Amino acid sequence: LSFSKPSRAAWQAAQGSCLFELEPALSRQRGVLHLGPAGQCAQPAGAHSKLLLPYGTDNRLLAGWTLHSGTCQVLRGLTVERNQSEVVSCLPRGSTAGVVFSWAGGDKSGDYLAVAATYLLDGTFSCGLVPSQAKIVLTIRNLGDLIPTDSFDLLKYNHTPLHFVDAFLWHEHLFFPYYRLPHGPPSVVVLNSRGHFHTPTQVRLSCGCRGHILASSILPQQGFWAGVFANQTERPAWAVPAWDNTALCLFDLAFLRDATFHYRKDVDKWERVQQKSPTLIHSDLSAVYATVVLNKIVVFLGTSNGQLLKVILNKNLEPNCPEILHEIEEETPVFPKLALDPVDSNYIYLASANEVRRIQVANCSNYVSHSDCLSAEDPYCEWCHLTNRYFLIFHICMQKKHIFRKGEVIIEGRNFTKELDLKVVLTGSGGCKREIISVGKALNDTHMKFSLPRGRKEAKRVCVSAAKDKCSSPVTLYYVSPPSCINIRPNSSWASGGRKITLFGRNVNVADGVVISDEQGSHLNVSSYPENTTSCHFLAPAVSHAKASKIVDVLLKVENVHKSCIKLQYHPDPVFINYELQTEMDPHLELKLYKENDNLDISKNEIEVFLHYENGSHLETIRFSVQNITKNPKHSTVLCKGKREGQDKIDFSTVKIYVSKTLFFMHQYIFCILLYLILNMFFLVAFIVTRHKSKELTHQLSEQLELLECELRKEIREGFAELQMDMSDVVDSFGTVPFLDYKHFALRTFFPEFTLIFDESLTLLQTLICNKNFLVTLIHTLEKQKTFSVKDRCLFASYLTIALQTKLVYLTHILEVLTKDLMEQSSNVQPKLMLRRTESVVEKLLTNWMSVCLSGFLRETVGETFYLLVTALNQRINKGPVDIITCKALNTLNEDWLLWQVTEFSTLTLNIIFEKTPDHENADTCQTISVSVLDCDTIGQAKEKIFQAFVNKNGSLYGLQLDEIGLELQSGAQQKELSDIDESSPILEDGKTKLNTIGHYGISDGATVKVLKKKTPDVDYSDEYCHLILPNSETVKDIQGAKTKGKQKFKVKEMYLTKLLSTKVAIHSVVEKLFRSIWSLPNNKAPVAIKYFFDFLDAQAESKKITDPDVVHIWKTNSLPLRFWVNILKNPQFVFDIKKTPHIDGCLSVIAQAFMDAFSLTEHQLGKEAPTNKLLYAKDIPLYKEEVKAYYKAIRDLPPLSSSEVEDFLIQESKKHENEFNEEVALTAIYRYTKTYHEEILTKLERDGGQEEALKQFLQVKALFDEKKKCTWMRTEHC
């Protein structure tokens, strides 16, 4: 049912397929127009009115229907003048909103219809429109033909459908409030009606985060738009809505009009947002109409339970208490559209279900006193401003406010005995006559009782008077619907009763109680305890202990009338058959109760379990908590857990288990009154004590906050100073670089996780793999086998490199052939991915070939700078605290390795005396040196620094190993041995032992420590120890000593992220020197291997007609930096005879990532939430990228190498490393792969033509190895 805006001449309403024309006063029907069969408004099915829009001065009406693909008719009276389809939504749940406006634009002047409609729901196109048209949500149509005007741009959506609520014109702008389906957000589209339809504007509407707009109304004089907004959550129809489910918000139309962000057709982008606090919050609003009366804004609101409310806003747009003007008895929802009667503005139209009502806008007669009328400030009621009536006011309150039909009501007040003739005045809604009830004599001065008359369902105001025109301040009494039931939970009880049953329904709080009726007709009254208007609970009474189930009726008692409600089923009491008590985790006990299966569905909250046992002459009790109840085919298991307090043992012969039903509600109800009185006294005392304590706490908090601010300022200032002063913290002299020899360099590069196995010579196999056709066929055949894993491919490539170490020219030819074959595979899919991973033999072979050919360049040009970087990182890390257990440090490049828990430390200088050893007895070595350590260093860390200082001072190692030396503190004639763990080591709450530090022993600056040989070597620490990072339970304790006693430093990891930056600054010059040594051209010459392979890649790209320069750039990056340099940068132990710690590995990973970012073509837009390892070098990467591009260009611009130059270089490299490796070992490993896939290789050789000689040799190799196996000839050795 819908209706148009009323006029003085006629008023139209639509229902189904019928259009009615009525008198404005609804006194009679003028006529009806049938779109379907005559007299059948419900036919055809699905017919709905979507638009009723009167316009002009000649009684014209635009009527839109879901019929005929969304038809729109132009009517004069009930006569159809024009008809056009596909105008409004044809969907019953689709929305349509329209507004008529005039436009003066030259030849296009005239009256237009702006209509917004939903043609698409649930992803299905409807209304006979093509998909592109179905996405159009807003069109401008000339009223002459109702066809969309092509010259005006159309508004579309791309994703979720829109639901339009209203359309209106204000100050030459069109407004269309809407929200997105299914869950918002709400917005409004604004168009300039002067022809600027190409720039629609959107504004997001925020009314307390509510996502749906239910109703709309405009206040044109004040420039406000009122909207009813609702939450998006769905709820069952019978559920009571939340108190804040809906809200009324008022928005400034000038703000919406002046929004300047334009969107050009697309409504799926973000909009400007106008946020408004709700003017009124209500549980269930559904309609709104706003108007202005005597300069006051009056808002009429409809609700979903059939009420019409009136709210008056003051000058600050604050509402008064809503007044109920009308209530629909059936409680049907009020439709969103309300309208004032144009003939008599004292009435408003309200639509609900299939009826339209004409309701008075004010009930002025309800105000029984002059002050009441004045305080209401109702502009519709003028009599209180014109009269001067005064009343004697009583103060009253009612004990009951929700009453059904009739009954006695007791009123509490005062001064009742001062008047002899008391009367109660009841005033209803509308124009109903007031009811005056004579009370007679009051019960006492504060109480009186009267009989409530029958009445219709409404809210009535009640006051007490003693004489004419003298009435007390009224209170409200509600006549509500009869209570009804919907459900109970649980729906069964045990025969002995006592189970808590919750009853759900409507208005159950007005019932006088619950009655249980059995099949014999006997009634048992049960006390009920209302929770709210929709639920109450009661305890099921006991019934006869029958073996079979029994069904009883639950009735509601309302004024001595029993109203049928619902059925309740009784089952026999639960039967517990056995128990099992487990005490292995004593004092934590586990109890399993076994009971027979039943239909009671008992929850764990409904039973309590106690265990009693005898302890001497005492009876001990343990209470168990029920964890869960599991139902098995044979029985049900109740799992309980408990804890006993004492240390005595349980005597199982005296154990008794008690299971009881939970009756805690009854205890709560019985003691609630007593508890109320006690709490009042307690709160009075608590208020006085709390007020005093709060003052003390406020003072303490102020002091602590001031201390915290000082500490934060100190930390930030120290971080800034360190960042400025720690810029040249790298050693200039680091001694001889400990390069590995070529053999170990190659082995660690080729086989990072494996040890080579040697075997006897294989001359015939070596000859066979020197056959290029055979070798290429062999590799391709192996790679086609599913069991030939990536690990096998890498090992095979490494063994092949060792076997052909002295034949680099041949190996290079093989590399060319395999690379070309790989390009053929990659070019068909993604050429940029070639060489990116190590998943084929040729990719690992390329890595090994680069390692062999660039070993000299690495040693001569890059190695020294690389070693300097590793040394600088070690020095920087050891300058600050390092947790020896986790290896985390305060000075680091990697956030994951940042030790932020300890930032306060001091540096001590120790005088170290070395005990002479046989190796240094006569040597010219310094036996007394000064060493700097930290007070937070463990004794083991101090030994490492002392050991390294000796090496730096004397250029040689001390005669003992690190784990063989001990430290002894010299203090006068006393000596004290220093150890990481001794009897003085602190033991924490969780059992962990804290390692001893320099500070633990109280060693002062300048102390003397002697180095001597210890009897027992050091041991590695397990998880039972901790150093600087303490368990969580200990972080709030003072275990460092007296200097920080009484306070704990406030620490947040993010405060110390500047340590990453200071470390980066300290080593930055070394990092840049290393990078530039890699991508520089010494003497304007590139290493032969790099120039050769880059020219090879350029030639292949040209032959394959690859014009994208990014492809060749990526090939070069994947073949050299990614495949070789990153592997070296992350693994310095491949190049130097050093040990890489996990912390050094974390820092080198950050540097290696920056190195690879310099070669990347992707531009990364980093934000504040980006990882710190990316942010550290974010400003340096653009410069590095330019240098890399120049590096690639310089290599490309160099003169190409001749074949002889490349071969001479490869021959020289081969000769350098003759006899470095046992090539026979590699050949043996290669044979094992040929043996594993012998049949596949043999089949491939037989199929390929021209491989007869290779096939013959392959069979001979197989026969030779079989013969050796019979003689048990072969053995394996380590390198």
The CATH architecture assigned to 1-88 reads Beta Barrel (2.40)
* pLDDT attached to residue 288: 96
Helical H segments across 751-883, by residue range? 763-769, 772-783, 790-803, 808-826, 841-853, 855-857, 863-879
* pLDDT attached to residue 216: 95
Instruction: State the residue for tokens 């003007």.
Output: 325
**Cβ partners under 8 Å of residue 195, min gap 6:** 103, 105
Strand order in the sheet with 535-539: 484-489, 500-506, 535-539, 528-532
DSSP helix/strand/coil, 1230:
helix
236 phi and psi angles, rounded to 5 deg: -60, 155
Please give the CATH number for the structural domain made up of 855-903+1052-1217: 1.10.506.10
* pLDDT attached to residue 948: 85
> What percentage of the chain exceeds 90 in pLDDT?
23
**Cβ partners under 8 Å of residue 716, min gap 6:** 1055
Q: Both ends of the chain: CA-CA distance in Å?
A: 95
* pLDDT attached to residue 404: 54
Q: Is the pLDDT of residue 114 over 80?
A: yes
Crossing angle of the two packed helices 1109-1119 and 1088-1103, in degrees rounded to 10: 150
Q: What angle do CA 219, 224, 227 make, to 5 degrees?
A: 90
* pLDDT attached to residue 195: 61
Q: Is the pLDDT of residue 1043 over 80?
A: no
Q: What is the pLDDT of residues 503-543, one digit of tens each?
A: 998 888 778 788 988 877 777 778 777 878 888 989 888 88
* pLDDT attached to residue 484: 85
* pLDDT attached to residue 130: 63
How far, in whole angstroms, is CA 721 from its chain's centroid? Answer: 38
* pLDDT attached to residue 518: 82
Highest mean pLDDT among 68-82, 198-212, 1150-1164: 1150-1164
Nearest partner of 374 among 384, 362, 366, judged by Cα = 384
By CB atoms closer than 10 A (0-12, 13-18, 19+), residue 1277 is exposed
Please give the CATH number for the structural domain made up of 579-594+603-661: 2.40.30
Q: Is the pLDDT of residue 660 over 60?
A: yes
Nearest partner of 775 among 825, 810, 747, judged by Cα = 810
User: How far is 490 from 519, CA to CA, in rounded Å?
Assistant: 21
Q: What is the pLDDT of residues 61-89, one digit of tens each?
A: 899 988 888 888 888 888 888 888 888 88
Crossing angle of the two packed helices 841-853 and 808-826, in degrees rounded to 10: 140
Higher pLDDT, 294 or 349: 349
Amino acid at site 78:
L
Highest mean pLDDT among 28-42, 322-336, 416-430, 1161-1175: 322-336
* pLDDT attached to residue 676: 58
* pLDDT attached to residue 615: 77
Higher pLDDT, 1218 or 1179: 1179
905-1050 CATH fold: Ubiquitin-like (UB roll) (3.10.20)
Q: Binning pLDDT at 50, 70 and 90, where does residue 560 land?
A: confident
Q: What angle do CA 460, 466, 470 make, to 5 degrees?
A: 70
Amino acid at site 1042:
A
> What percentage of the chain exceeds 70 in pLDDT?
80
Please answer whether residues 655 and 583 qualify as being in contact, where contact means their C-beta atoms are separated by less than 8 angstroms: no
**Cβ partners under 8 Å of residue 1139, min gap 6:** 1133
User: How far is 280 from 270, CA to CA, in rounded Å?
Assistant: 27
- Least confident span in 163-177, 265-279, 1196-1210: 265-279
Q: Strand pairing of 402-403 and 475-479? A: parallel
Nearest partner of 894 among 1172, 1104, 505, judged by Cα = 1172
Strand order in the sheet with 224-230: 212-219, 224-230, 246-252, 280-282
Q: Please give the sequence-ordered ranges of beta strands (E in DSSP) within 389-441, or none if there are none.
A: 397-398, 402-403, 407-412, 422-427, 435-440
1059 phi and psi angles, rounded to 5 deg: -60, -35
User: How far is 191 from 264, CA to CA, in rounded Å?
Assistant: 11
* pLDDT attached to residue 391: 34
- Model's pTM, two decimal places? 0.47
Q: What is the pLDDT of residues 899-927, one digit of tens each?
A: 887 768 899 999 999 887 766 555 555 67
User: How far is 364 from 429, CA to CA, in rounded Å?
Assistant: 10
**Residues forming beta bridges with residue 136, ordered by sequence position:** 156
Section 1044-1052 average pLDDT:
48
Q: What is the pLDDT of residues 222-243, one digit of tens each?
A: 899 999 999 876 666 666 778 8
Q: Is the pLDDT of residue 933 over 90?
A: yes
Nearest partner of 1198 among 1039, 1084, 1079, judged by Cα = 1084
User: How far is 148 from 136, CA to CA, in rounded Å?
Assistant: 11
* pLDDT attached to residue 675: 58
Q: How far is CA 1047 from CA 492, 975, 1040, 1044, 1052, in A?
A: 60, 34, 11, 6, 16
User: How far is 1079 from 720, CA to CA, in rounded Å?
Assistant: 34
DSSP helix/strand/coil, 403:
strand
Average pLDDT over the chain, rounded to whole?
Answer: 80
Q: Is the pLDDT of residue 937 over 90?
A: yes
- Please give the torsion angle defined by the CA atoms of residues 274, 279, 283 and 288, in that order, rounded to the nearest 10 degrees: -90
The DSSP annotation for 632-700 comes to -SS-EEEEEEEE--S-SPP-GGG-EEEEEE--HHHHHHHHHHHHHHHHHHHHHHHHHHHHHHHHHHHHH
Q: What angle do CA 213, 214, 216 make, to 5 degrees?
A: 85
* pLDDT attached to residue 126: 64
What are the CB-based long-range contacts (under 8 Å, 24+) for 664-670? Answer: 665/500, 665/529, 665/537, 665/539, 666/539, 669/529
Q: Is the pLDDT of residue 317 over 70?
A: yes
Higher pLDDT, 721 or 662: 721
Joined tokens for residue 859: 């040693």
* pLDDT attached to residue 589: 86
Please answer whether residues 1235 and 1265 qualify as being in contact, where contact means their C-beta atoms are separated by less than 8 angstroms: yes
Q: Is the pLDDT of residue 280 over 80?
A: yes
Count of Cβ atoms closer than 10 Å to residue 346 Cβ:
12
Is the domain covering 364-479 a CATH 2.60.40.10 domain?
Answer: yes
Q: Please give the sequence-ordered ranges of beta strands (E in DSSP) within 307-354, or none if there are none.
A: 307-313, 323-327, 339-340, 347-352
**Cβ partners under 8 Å of residue 879, min gap 6:** 729, 891
Joined tokens for residue 804: 């052909």
Q: Is the pLDDT of residue 663 over 60?
A: no
Section 1051-1074 average pLDDT:
83
Nearest partner of 479 among 432, 513, 515, 439, judged by Cα = 432
Please give the CATH number for the structural domain made up of 484-571: 2.60.40.10
Put residue 146 in one of left, alpha, beta given phi > 0 → left and psi -120 to 50 → alpha: left
User: How far is 19 from 8, CA to CA, in rounded Å?
Assistant: 18
Please answer whether residues 500 and 537 qualify as being in contact, where contact means their C-beta atoms are separated by less than 8 angstroms: yes
Q: Binning pLDDT at 50, 70 and 90, where does residue 141 land?
A: confident
Q: Helix and strand tally (H, E) in the chain?
A: 26, 64
What are the CB-based long-range contacts (under 8 Å, 24+) for 627-633? Answer: 628/604, 629/602, 629/603, 629/604, 631/597, 632/597
User: What CATH superfamily classification does 742-853+1219-1279 receive?
Assistant: GTPase Activation - p120gap; domain 1 (1.10.506.10)
**Residues forming beta bridges with residue 538, ordered by sequence position:** 501, 528
* pLDDT attached to residue 1070: 92
Within 13 Å, how many C-alpha atoms sit on residue 422's CB side? Answer: 26
